[in-house]
Structure 1
Amino acid sequence: MNSKAVIKQWTYRFPILTSVIIYSLLGGLSLYLSTRAHGLDIWYASMVFGLLLSQQSYLHWGKQCAAILGTNLLLYLSVFPLSSHLVTSSIVNVFEAIVVAVLMKQVTSKKPSHQSVFDFTVVLFNVLLLPALLGGIAKALLDITFSTNALLEVFVGTFLSSIVGAISVFPIGYYLYISKQSDWVKHDFKMPGALVFIMITAVVNVCALIYMPYPYAYTSLALVLSTLFMPFLGVALNILLNSIISVLFVSLGIITLLPGKNSELFFLLPMLITYLTPILLAITINKYKLAHNKFTSANETIQRMYDYTPVAMLSIDNKGVINAVSEQWLSLLGYPREAVLGRRAIDFLTPASRDYATNYVLPEFFKLGKVERIRYQMHHYDGHIIDVELTSVMEPESLRGGKYFNSLAVIKDVTTEITLTKRLAQERELLETTLMSIGDGVVATDVNGLTRFVNPIAESLLGVRAGEALNKPAEHYIHLIDRHDSTRLPCPIRQVLDSREMYTFEQDAILVSKSGVQYSIQDKTTPIVTSKGELQGVVMVFQDVTELVASNDRMAYLAQHDALTGLPNRTLALDRLYQACSKHSRVPQTFAVAFVDVDNFKHINDSFGHDCGDVVLQTLGKKLNTILRSSDTAARLGGDEFLLLLHGVTDRQAVSQIYEKLNRAISEPIVVNKQSVSVSISIGVCVFPEDGLEPDTLLKRADEAMYQAKSHGRNRLSFYSQSAMQSSLSHVQLQGLINENHKRSEDMFVMTPLIRAVDHSIQGIVVDFDQGRWLPEHKGLDVFVLARQQSLFSQINDLWFLGLNHVLSEVATHGVRDIIVRINDEQILSDEFYHGLKSSIKDLNVNPSKLVLSFQESVLCHGSKTVIDAVSRLKALGLRLDVSEFGVHSISLDFLNLLPLDSVTLGEGLTSQMETEQHNETLTYSLVKLAKSLNLTCCAVTVSTSYQATLLEAMGCDHLLGNYFYKTVNIEQLNVLIDTPQDVMLVSSNQ
């Protein structure tokens, strides 16, 4: 912290102590000088205290004045004995200070008092003269009251003492006060130079006092001359120093006053005039400096503004010569300033522009005094031509005989604008040609919806000529209806005008022409908006997609319907199920999901032939359509399995009634080729949301209920019941089965040879975890799910690994190089399975790159981060990954690409029905090609005929599996089958 800040902080925190210290120093000095043999009584302290007091709030004046009054008394008592004169002098001194403070506050609060000599004179009168007069009067009156002193003598002595002391101190105090409010005294105070002038003036004053008659004439001259070269503060210090020197010389007897009664008056009055003159002169000089500085600053500011104005500007005199240019002008044309000033303005124009300026622009300019937006071409410094736009006005800098002498011009670079205008014209012509030739219909309107453009294709589709449509509202000739329910659709152009947003029809709109012809259209209507966001109009672009819509409808129907029965297929049925589940979150509802299975359908196929089986399925499909409501869905999932989606079912009784109707309808024998075939069905039902909220859960539970119906004798209806599904296998029973099978865990697995499609050689072995062997009396139960629910998953998992490890060790002895493991959905997400697999690889010393884990596609339907993380960490063990039941569920390709897969295995139903259903053959081919495009190996299962094997090989399938080649084998049989090392072995733990 600097010294100035320390003083300021001290003054702010201790105002009374500060005032007392300063007052004591100055008062003590005055008393010391006045008590000398020839001493003069010059009182500096009252003015200083008054100035300090004026800076304080009125609330603090009482304490300040009391402290100073006490200080004054102590000062007098240190020199004089107690008397009435001492008391009155102390009171008058404090009184004068109060008057100074009051007047100072009033004068400086009204307006700045330093703008002129007159203003400063008013301040001097109020702050110097009035307090001294009032103090002298007060002193005289008090002395008359308490003593016999002469009135005039007391008044004059007090007045001179106060006013000389005040004028000596006031300039410094006034400078410090004003310096906080204005910059008029803020000039560089160069101490060495100022000290020189102060010393010279002091020397002159000393010499004049000692050696010269009329000494104040020389002192005044020295003060005035020094004032010309010093700032105000230097003048103030000079006055105070000379005042102290003069009083000190008299008090010390160095000089003597003139003899006589009024000797002090004749000494102090010239001294007062001597000090007043340089003060007023300093005020005058500072006012001139302030005005000069403002003028200089303003001139520099204007010049800078001109030079750095953000426009290219130049000034030209009456001879056409450039006398000033802005930096922007120089930057635009690339010239240095010295190469421009003094040259004619037209020298920078091209010859053509120079002639145009001379012959046309300048005569007009001299006539009107201004020109606007004149296009010229100018030479750049590097030689290339730029296009500019000029605006100029005559500047009346000096009017002599009514003539203008200067002009001011601004130029704007329009090279890019002109280039863009030409290019825009070319592009507009190209655009119009393109729009007239384009194969889409185009209609454009203005902001009011009035037609401005119609191309030939639009004329043909709308059935109107462009001339008929121009300047008419688009609604008059654009008529659209919905292709599903034929309701009138709003005009897209009007929709965009109202919303200012793009409006699109995606093949759902039909355009009705003027003649009544209907076209399916695909439309995109867009607002025409400027860069500023202002709407200029609307453009509608539409295509005739009638044939495309018809083709898409047919393809959509084929893709979503079963070719044999005409019912919705698995894809459409699952989509409707997913929609029904998602709709529940918005509109609560109930519906039933039913699995329908034809009893003994394999017997019908084997006994009567596949043609008869097809007729049975077709008949069942027709009867389902007849009995169910239009809001319900009957779908064929594949083979002899059907799915029913029954909306609005509130209780199980309603489902039972539908079953009874269906059962009665199919109870009549079906005659095929003069043979009577009796048919019965088993149905498993679950109810949403009672039995589940997710589609996969509902499907699984309806399937479980259907198997429950079959297990109870077939030809019946069974509702899903969690207790019924699990009551046949309690916690104790499951624990007992785990303990019972612990020593024969390898028997839980069955193996089937895997065949290479190209040469039908053995490629590997499929080893399945056969829950039917382990739980022969509990078909339909998932032991892993049940174990998870009964907190026995760890034990089942350990048992599974025990059997798997035995199989792996046995298989390894037969020279099988690669192993693929198909795991259960519950296992893939399990930490226990992951760590068990990791331990098996280590304990058996199996190369993980030879293992392939296979999991069902259904686990991917969730598309969750949990699935991705689980699959990724298995891949990190160095294994390969396979997805089974590929194509059964709807899996996003983007999600599929996120998984580190190596191969896929097609769903069982696809292969078994290829010979009877063209749709399945097409779908299988598409899935094989999809797998190849993803660089995945493809395997087909349930291959039962030579036709299927040949067809799958032709499609590009890599591996085949099914009874056509081999049934399940044991370890001993495997040893006979495998003659040479094979490339792949598939070990699966299927549900």
Structure 2
Amino acid sequence: MLLSGPVNIVYNILIIDDNLQNVLILENILSPLGNIFFAESGSNALALVDKIKPDVILLDIEMPDMDGWEVCRSLKANSLYSDIPIIFITGHTEPEFERLALESGGVDFITKPFNAPICCLRVHTQLKLRQQNRLMVKAKEELQQLVNQVPMLVTYWDNQGHNLFSNDYSGLWFESLNSNIKGKHISTIFPDELSNAILKHHRHISSDALKYVVTVPQKGMMSFYEVFQSEMKSSAGVDGYLVTVVDVSEVKHAKQALYSEKERLRVTLNSIGDAVIATDIKGLITFMNPIAERMTGWRLKEALHQKIENVMHLKDSDTQQTLLNPLYIALREQRIVAMALNSQLTSLGGHVFAVEDSAAPIRNENGEVIGAIMVFHDVGEAMAMAIKMSHLANHDQLTDLPNRILLQDRLSVACSTAKSYGTKAAALLVDIDHFKYLNDSLGHRYGDELICLMAKRIRTLIPASYTLARLGGDEFVILMSDTNSVDACSQLASTLVEAMHEPFILDNQKFNVSVSIGISVFPNDAADAEELMRHADVAMYRAKQEGRNRFCFFSHDLENAMMERHHLETCLRKALINNQLFVHYQPKFDLQTNAIVGAEALARLVNDEGVCISPTEFIPLAEESGLIILLGKQVLNKACAEAKRWLDMGHAIPISVNVAAAQFTDSSLPCVIKDALLSHGLPAHLLELEITETALMVDAAEMQNRLSELTSLGIKISIDDFGTGYSSLAYLKKFNVDVMKIDMSFIKDMLNNKHDYEIVKTIISLGKSMGLVLIAEGVETEAQRYALIELGCFMGQGYLFSRPLMTIDFETLLLQNQLLEV
């Protein structure tokens, strides 16, 4: 037996004979061979077979109920008993009886009378054969179980590739095996890649097993099969081929994953910006990546098995003392260790790198330390970048002067020093007059260039110990630290104001610029750095109020004025955001008939207490704070809405709206006007824009283009305050305007001042010669009215006729005027 050893077996022998004497004789002969059982008839025998399970049956042929042939056929027809050898007992010697016995399934004969030795040998032979068959069946079953449990597919094929055996009956390996495959060709059972490889190797194999691997794509992934193939020979030649298949996919995938991981690790270590050095537990180098090679100057093949301190020469940047490599601390204390600050690495070629980072132990799968890894990088550029970033964070990008952050720090230090030593510190806030106007009209490139030129000029006028900073825009601050005299502040401010009278050259053109300077002194004016700056700002604002091109020291009156200005700006901003700005309308009259021929829209502001604020207060503030564009847009829309309402009431009253210089230079003005006309449905010819002549004096060509763009909308253009500018007569002929307004400053004293009278006369004459409509502002007396009529000016506005009126009052005046005309 294959797995179990030999055992002693007791055989069961069944004798079927209706002659008891024959039974007794056979029992006596066969008793040494095993247990003897008998039955006197065929029917009794068939019932007894299942109980005793005989190893051999001796069957008499002639019996009364069932003869031997019938009993034999019944036993052979039953699969449970078909393998029991049957020996016929007969006294017949004719060949016909022998043929019938063999046809019925018998295996031998015992003839009567019985020859004891021959009889015993015949039965013993069948018992031995029976036992051998049992052993073969058992061995086959054990072999089949063994083959089935082997973690491989075992197959046997003939020379043509037809299956003779497989240990897979359930389709565990391939779905095609889940059926009876015996006799089927290998190409119908195995995947094409596997079957083709096996058939190909049939021609090249011998008795020695051939081993190879076949790759099979299955279900979106690759499977790998290791094949062992050998020929099976007998005395007649090659009978077939034994093919065993082992699935090595998991091993292959694991190897591929391991290779990919190793390759990814290799590429990562070779491509990262950090240097990496690995050592064993003694600090002997086992690996270096290219960055480590570059920084140390050592090649890996030269550095292998070298002590790490021989390759990495670490020193303290300040003391130049040799440092212990942190890798040894990581090995000793079995933890991650950061490198000492200010470490520097000297390469083999003498290059010095500022380095930082850390070392860490390497552990195996049992957690035992087997080495360490050193990761470091060059921080020289980072340190330089940090210095540069610090500079950028504390300096103005345009001028490279200290910015607000650095200035605040220096102000605090200056105030602390002055307090400690009983000295003074002063802040001079320098602001370029009308810079926004210049920047908008000239362009930001020239504005930036002017700022840089201004910074250079101021820098040449102050000692190196003073701080010159730029707060942003057109504001500079000069910090005078550790000074004893307020006079020194005054002298420096005076020098700065005078120095600005020298023109600046921009694109080969000269530009005159003035500055306003506010001065605050610590501790006279302020208790700390923040207050010092705030009070300098208040003083600067006072300098602007007093006419610009000057300097002012701080006082508490200035602070109060600044607070009022803040409240006013808050009130104005709130009114604009909530669309609460009021518009009053001053009628324009025909001086000869007193008929209303137009109206001027004038902005009005009311504070939270209901007090009306003068336009002379909030209009300049709106210009300075940048709110003038929003204010102008709001007045424009309200005026267009009212003019359209009057038109619907039957009053075609042209409405004029003032446009500040900042609005006029704003490129979006034509779109704003167009949108206002369309949204309110006001005909364009009923809208007139009043533009001050000073707004037209910056760039004649550009302003001429802007005026043409506006007049193309169908609106009218009026020059406001004519006669107060510097170049009016020279530029007037270049501009396409419709109306000229004579400034009230000339009208007021025209009857008392011959000079003013001549100016008014000249303006009227000039306007008439150019075909312009003339309107006199500030007409307050009948004498002024008649004088204007005599000079040829037939339209005017002023308190003689009406003050600016609220909408409801203006409409009442319109009705009254209409009745008078009727």
**TM bucket by the smaller chain?**
0.3 to 0.5
Q: So what's the TM-score if we normalise by structure 1?
A: 0.28
Higher RCO (Cα < 8 Å, 6 or more apart): 1
Q: So what's the TM-score if we normalise by structure 2?
A: 0.32
The structure richer in strand per residue is 2
The structure richer in helix per residue is 1
